[in-house]
Every structure is written in C-alpha cells, then in structure tokens.
Amino acid sequence: YTSSLQIKNYPSKMKYCSSCGSKVELKVPQDDHFPRYCCTNCDAIHYQNPNIVTGTIPIMKDRVLLCKRAIHPRPGMWTLPAGFLENGETLGQGAFRETLEETNTEVKMGNLYAIFNIPQISQIYMLFFAEVLREDFGKTPESLEVKLFKEEEIPWQELAFPFVPIVLKNYFADRKDNKFDLKVETIERPVKKTNQ
Ligand code: ZN
C-alpha cells in the first residue's frame, strides 16, 4: 500500500469554529502529521475523518430487493438500501435501520459481503447480506418503488451508484458455486471541482 493522503481530500470545507464562531485556518497542529481546521481564537482542532455507509443486499430466494430512489442524489435510479452510520450504532444495526427506512421491511441480517474504499470522497461502504422474510416491503419517503429482481431483470443501465453493479455482479457470480467470500475493493471517483 502507498499512502495517497492529500490535503485536498477533506470531506467538507470549514470556515468558522463550531465551538466559538471565530475563523478557522487549515494547518498542521504541533506534533501532528496532517492539516486540520484549527481555530484562530480558542484551542479547538476540528478533526474530520471518513464517513461509513452501511447497507444490505436483501435477498429472497433467487431475487434481490432494490429501491428506486425518491431523494437526491440520483432520484429515479435503483440502488441497494444503504446510508450513513449514526453515532452509537453498530454496522449491523445501521444496515438494518437503513433497509427498513428505504424498503419498509425488517430483514434478517447476514454476513458482511463487501467493503468499498472511496477515498476521493472519504467514504467507506460496508454491505451485508440480508434475508427478506416477508413480502411486506414497499415504497417509503426515501423510495419511489421497492421491488424484487431476478438476475436477468436487473435494470443495469439505471443503477444509482458505482458500488451497486459491482456488488450485484459479484453476488450473481458467487451464487453459481455457492461461495461468498468477502470482497474488498477501491472505487476511484472523479472529484468535483466545486468541492475543492
Ligand atoms: Zn474556536
């Protein structure tokens, strides 16, 4: 591995200290190795670290449950249920909650199947297998439509995010020999200039 850490890969820009409201500046604090937003007035150092996105691959027999997004980004596109881990949650609890919020059904959580590094946007995706127990799923404020798809029915051209086709292709390939090893991959994403 080589370190690709760069100053520009900050998740969000900060102008003012959230403790005292004074201006912050980006600098390397004493005895540190990376630039941080440091308050010019109080002693606050505002550390920013990657966000974790947790979700599921909900399965019922030979079909996978997908959600048509009702919200930005990518409204109208299909995705696997996933979202940001909340403070105090375990990965599994977060994945279960996101699945319930996006599909309206309570799944039975299974093993971790895929981890994606997305360093350009400082996000880590963690996807678990989940069993769809009941056909009580349906649309929610976050999903226009929630539907089970066989492999040949997957809307490949209408998938919302790069991780979705990767997970689905791996899953359908692994299903042929019924062996589902954990996948760890890195997704390269172009960084929008407006975020820099
Ligand atoms: Zn301050």
Question: Closest by alpha carbon to 103, among 153, 67, 57?
Answer: 67
Say how many Å lie between the CA of residue 36 and the centre of ligand 1: 13
Nearest to 172 by CA among 183, 184, 188, 161: 183
- CA–CA distance, 192 with 196 (Å, rounded to integer): 7
Q: Which residue has the tokens 């881990």?
A: 85
Cα-to-centroid distance, 19 and ligand 1 (Å): 5
For residue 145, report the distance from its CA to the centre of ligand 1, in Å: 45
- Taking only the tens place, the pLDDT of each residue in 122-173 is 999 999 999 999 999 999 999 999 999 999 999 999 999 999 999 999 999 9
* The pLDDT of residue 13: 84
- Tell me the pLDDT band of 36, cut-offs 50, 70 and 90: very high
CA of 17 to the centre of ligand 1 (A): 5
Report how far ligand 1's centroid is from the alpha carbon of 10 (Å). Answer: 19
Rounded CA separation 138/30 (Å)? 53
Of all residues in the chain, the percent with pLDDT exceeding 90 is 84
pLDDT-derived band at 1, boundaries 50, 70, 90: very low
Average pLDDT of the residues of the chain: 92
In the structure, what pLDDT confidence band is assigned to residue 194 with cuts at 50, 70 and 90?
low
Least confident of 5-14, 29-38, 60-69, 116-125: 5-14
Residues 42/153, Cβ–Cβ less than 8 Å = no
- Residue linked to tokens 């089970």: 148
Q: How far is the centre of ligand 1, averaged over its atoms, from the C-alpha of 44 (Å)?
A: 5
pTM score above 0.85 = yes
Starting at the earlier edge strand, list the strands of the sheet with 36-39: 24-27, 36-39, 45-46
Distance 26 CA to ligand 1 centre (A): 13
Q: Residue 67 pLDDT more than 60?
A: yes
Lowest mean pLDDT segment, chosen from 10-19, 73-82, 83-92, 129-138 = 10-19
Which of 2, 9, 25 is closest to 195 using CA atoms? 9
- Cα 45 to averaged position of ligand 1 atoms, centre (Å): 8
Q: How far is the CA of 13 from the centre of ligand 1 (A)?
A: 16
Percent of the chain with pLDDT over 70: 91
Return the pLDDT at 12. 73
> How far is the centre of ligand 1, averaged over its atoms, from the C-alpha of 8 (Å)?
22
For residue 5, the model assigns a pLDDT of: 53
The pair of structure tokens assigned to 35 is: 């630039």
